[in-house]
Amino acid sequence: MNGGNRQELLWQLFRSFFRSRSAFLTLFERYEARVMEFAEKFEIDRTRLRVSADDLLTLLDFKSLEELRDREILTLKQTAHVLFRGPDATDMFDHHVSNIYHELSILKEEHYTLKEDFLRLDKKEYDRFFREVAEFYPKRLRHIKNLYGKALRRLESLLPEMTKERVLIRSLFIFGDDLLEGSYRGGLPALYRKMYPRLGAARAYAEVGKSFVESGFEEEALAAFLKARDALARRSRRRDHEDARKRLAAEVEKQIGLLQSTPTV
């Protein structure tokens, strides 16, 4: 795999991971809300709730579930295989993603069974199936949610190794706020703190700015350095990094001065 292709694949991995996680969390929250809606309607504890086959179908959006598995998660799984699976070892991130795909596939097939006419015609068969689903749905959904959590923690641990991936750090700068909204607590600054443990977002924005300068994108570089300046202005609790902060601040101000003095055409 050449370097350029790897960089593009890394950005694709981030995109599909956070998009799919956001979509899944939305499905999960809607499921929980729908269950509680029925529980309140029938004034019964959710563990003793019983609903019809038609109502059971409304707990999950089958089309959204199918699209999630067959689009974003399939892309995520394929990309993770290329980046994290080798002939002798497989990274745990790839393992967690494969399990997410597998678990969603099982959930999708189980949910599809609800559309079968025999369930509506055979009360005993439906009773048996409902007992299984009443335990199966919440357990399966929570398991997938936990797998996403494990995959996220593994991805976070890999972030410091990705600081030189030019396409990734630039793409996060440009698209990261929208991508991470609703799927990553603290948004882009929090992710940058994982990627650059020393000086966090300030260092990240400065590195993005330098990358843009090297490629001749001066407008984008200035925007990145200005964000670095704002990040540095926020008081840090890490006093042991004070000297590094001062050096970075001097570097950032120098770059801003150079970029702002550059004549525009």
Cα–Cα dist 105/124, whole Å:
26
Tens-binned pLDDT, residue by residue, of the chain (265 aa): 555 688 899 999 999 999 999 999 999 998 888 888 877 877 777 766 666 667 767 777 888 888 999 999 999 999 999 999 887 888 999 999 999 999 999 888 876 666 665 555 566 666 666 666 667 788 889 999 999 999 999 999 999 999 989 999 999 999 999 999 888 999 999 999 999 998 999 999 999 999 999 999 999 999 999 999 999 988 665 566 788 899 999 999 999 999 998 665 4
Burial label, 64 (beta-carbon count in 10 A; 0-12, 13-18, 19+): middle
pLDDT of residue 88: 80
DSSP 8-state secondary structure symbol assigned to residue 234 = S
Task: For residue 66, give every residue at least 6 positions away whose Cβ sits within 8 Å of its Cβ, in sequence order, or none.
Answer: 108
pLDDT of residue 43: 74
SS3 for 90?
strand
Cα–Cα dist 191/265, whole Å:
36
pLDDT of residue 82: 95
pLDDT of residue 259: 93
Burial label, 69 (beta-carbon count in 10 A; 0-12, 13-18, 19+): buried
Cα–Cα dist 88/70, whole Å:
28
Alpha-helical regions (H) of 200-241: 200-215, 218-233
CATH of 169-261, one of 1.20.58, 1.10.10, 1.25.40, 1.10.3470: 1.20.58
Q: Global pTM?
A: 0.86
Domain boundaries, the chain: 3-161, 169-261
